[in-house]
Structure 1
Amino acid sequence: MKKILVGIFFFYSLISYAQSDHTKVVLSDITEKVKNNYIDKDAYKKVDSLFQNESKKGTFNNLSKKDFAAFLTQKLRATIKDEHFFVKYLENYSSENPHNEKEREKENNFHNSLENFGFENVQRLEGNVGYINFKGFATAESSAKTLAASMNFIANTNSLIIDLRENGGGDNEMLLLFCSYFFDKKTDLYTTYFRNKDKTVINSTQPKISGQKYLHKNIIILTSKKSFSAAEGLAYFLQEYKMAEVIGEKTGGAANPVDHFIIQNQYLLLLPAGEITSSISHKNWEHIGVIPDQEVEAEDALKVAHIRILKNILKAGTKTELSIPEIKNLINKLEQ
């Protein structure tokens, strides 16, 4: 019996050592990726110190791979002060499959299609006000038709509300495509510097798009603390070019675009590899967020925006389907 117990102990010790070695390799690989790719060239020192301290405390012992990834995500974000960091366990991932990347992209596009590529709701509010509830930036290629359909639907409205209160961001090309609907000609919005490539890219709107542009009209963008990344970009640039007012809460403050890396064929690592700079202000919203023109609780933002537009209609004498008394009654109703 004693020999059996010793054998069992030895067996589990081997597993523990194997897990420990595997964890060390993963942590080392992540540290190296941060060192070579993250926009702040010295951030890897904090990452290395974090991993050494947590390893000494035995924090990683007995964590499942999924929990290990979630823990790394939390700690990296807190240590580097960058909410873009993300680690995910990839179950059944195989680097030997040449179609693996395309299959994952196809699967992502399918899941995005189930959520209508982020377009939750598009409608016309009373007073001929367009409303787009947009919750995420899927790839521009997959989203283009839905975006065009949404913009075509609201093309005849006098004003537009874009609701980004639940939008966590996403694809940079989709950000540029969406912005293109509000510029009458090609405009260089910002540059992106990639430290790992020592390369600067100019990011511009598209002069021609498949849907109808929405030019020279009143636009209000709704934001919350959850508005993040590309969602912040849409609010930031339209506000900066004085094409839109922002109503709601200050946004999350994540400007820099991410790149993805596969760690030891088991984990997906997302980290910001670029730094964007506005062509107008020569700044961005990293760690700052987009500051609303009118700061209100997120839950009240839509009502406040609708009231503001209706009051502007009365002031400007804009024709809508409502009479002046009807507009005043609607304002009173919304204010109650």
Structure 2
Amino acid sequence: MKKLLVGIFLLNSLFSYAQKNNNSAILSDITEKVKNYYVDKETYKKVDSLFRSEFKNGAFNHLSQKDFAALLTQKLRTNIKDEHFFVKYLENYTPEKLGDEKEKEKLNNYNNSLENFGFETVQRLPGNIGYINFKGFASPESSEKTLAAAMNFIANTNSLIIDLRENGGGENGMLLLFCSYFFDQKTDLYTTYSRYNNKTDLNSTQSKVSGEKYLRKKIYILTSKKTFSAGEALAYFLQQHKLAEVIGEKTGGAANPVEHFIIQNQYLLLVPAGKITSLMNGKNWEHIGVIPDQEVKSEAALKLAHSKILKNILITDTKTELTIPEIKNLINKLEQ
């Protein structure tokens, strides 16, 4: 029995030693990525100090890979004050070969198609009001047809509500494509600076799109605390260019673009690697969030937007399928 207990103790010691070495290598790699890519070139020093202190105190001991990743995410976001940092354990991950990029793209497109490329609901609300519930930005190549179909569906409405309350962001190309539907001509919106290659790119809308553009009509964008990254950008730039009114809660405040890395063939790491700058004011919404034109709890935002549009219909005598008494009755129901 004594020999058995000694054996178990040695195995546990070896496992603990191996885990510490593995964790140490992961922390070192993350620090190196932050050093080389993070938008603020001095931040890696803070990350290095944080990791050394937490490692010494045993904060990462005896954690599963998933819990280790979750703790790293929490520590980075809290201490660096940047919600774009993210670490995820990749279960059963195998290094991809270069020749598999097309297969990877097909798989991503397939997975995105299962969520209809972010388009949860597209409908016409009473009063001839378009409504798009949009939850995420997939690649523009895969999303283009679905976006065009959504915009064609709401093309004949008098006003539009874009619901971004559950939008967690996504690809920059899709952001620009979506924005293009609300600008008559090609418009320069912002620059993106990447620190790792010291390069600045200009980001502009497209003059032509596949579907019907939605121009010179009232647009309302719904936001919440969960609205993030590219979701914030859509609200921010349409608000800045006075094309939309934002209703809801102040958003998460994550403007900077990220780079993706695989750490030790075990973890996915997202590092904010650049800076977006609006060409209208030389700023962005990082750490600030998009400030609504009318701030209300997110769950009340849709009813408020719908009511505001109906009231405007009465003021402007806009023709809809509803009679004036029906419009007034609907406003009363929405405001109860």
Fold shared by both chains (TM-score > 0.5): yes
Distance in 1, matches of 2:106 and 2:57, equals 41
Percent identity over paired residues? 76
The one-letter amino acid of 1:226's match is: K
Distance in 1, matches of 2:235 and 2:12, equals 54
Asked if 2 retains the 8 angstrom alpha-carbon contact of 1:94 and 1:100, the reply is no
Distance in 2, matches of 1:301 and 1:221, equals 9
Aligned to 1:252: 252
Aligned to 1:304: 304
How far apart are residue 136 of structure 1 and its match? 1.0
Aligned to 2:281: 281
The one-letter amino acid of 1:19's match is: Q
How far apart are residue 145 of structure 1 and its match? 0.8
The one-letter amino acid of 1:58's match is: G
How far apart are residue 9 of structure 1 and its match? 2.6
How far apart are residue 328 of structure 1 and its match? 1.7
Question: Does residue 137 of the first structure (1) align with residue 137 of the second (2)?
Answer: yes
Equivalent residue runs for 1:32-43 within 5 Å? 32-43=32-43
How far apart are residue 107 of structure 1 and its match? 2.7
Aligned to 1:57: 57
Distance in 1, matches of 2:237 and 2:21, equals 47
The one-letter amino acid of 2:121's match is: N
How far apart are residue 335 of structure 1 and its match? 1.7
How far apart are residue 254 of structure 1 and its match? 0.5
| Alignment CA distance shift 1:96-1:249 (3 Å) | closer
Equivalent residue runs for 1:197-208 within 5 Å? 197-208=197-208
* Worse overlay, 320-329 or 48-57: 320-329
Distance in 1, matches of 2:93 and 2:79, equals 28
How far apart are residue 101 of structure 1 and its match? 4.5
Query: Any gaps of 5 or more consecutive residues in structure 2?
Result: none
Distance in 2, matches of 1:53 and 1:34, equals 17
Query: Any gaps of 5 or more consecutive residues in structure 1?
Result: none
Distance in 2, matches of 1:98 and 1:183, equals 38
Equivalent residue runs for 1:13-24 within 5 Å? 13-24=13-24
TM-score, normalised with respect to structure 2: 0.97
| Alignment CA distance shift 1:30-1:102 (3 Å) | farther
* Worse overlay, 98-107 or 322-331: 98-107
TM-score, normalised with respect to structure 1: 0.97
How far apart are residue 271 of structure 1 and its match? 1.1
- The number of equivalent residue pairs is 336
How far apart are residue 100 of structure 1 and its match? 4.8
The one-letter amino acid of 1:145's match is: K
Q: Aligned-residue CA RMSD in angstroms?
A: 1.4
How far apart are residue 324 of structure 1 and its match? 2.1
CA offsets 1:108-153 (integer angstroms, 9 cap, x no match)? 3222211111111100011110000111111111111111100000
Question: Does residue 230 of the first structure (1) align with residue 225 of the second (2)?
Answer: no
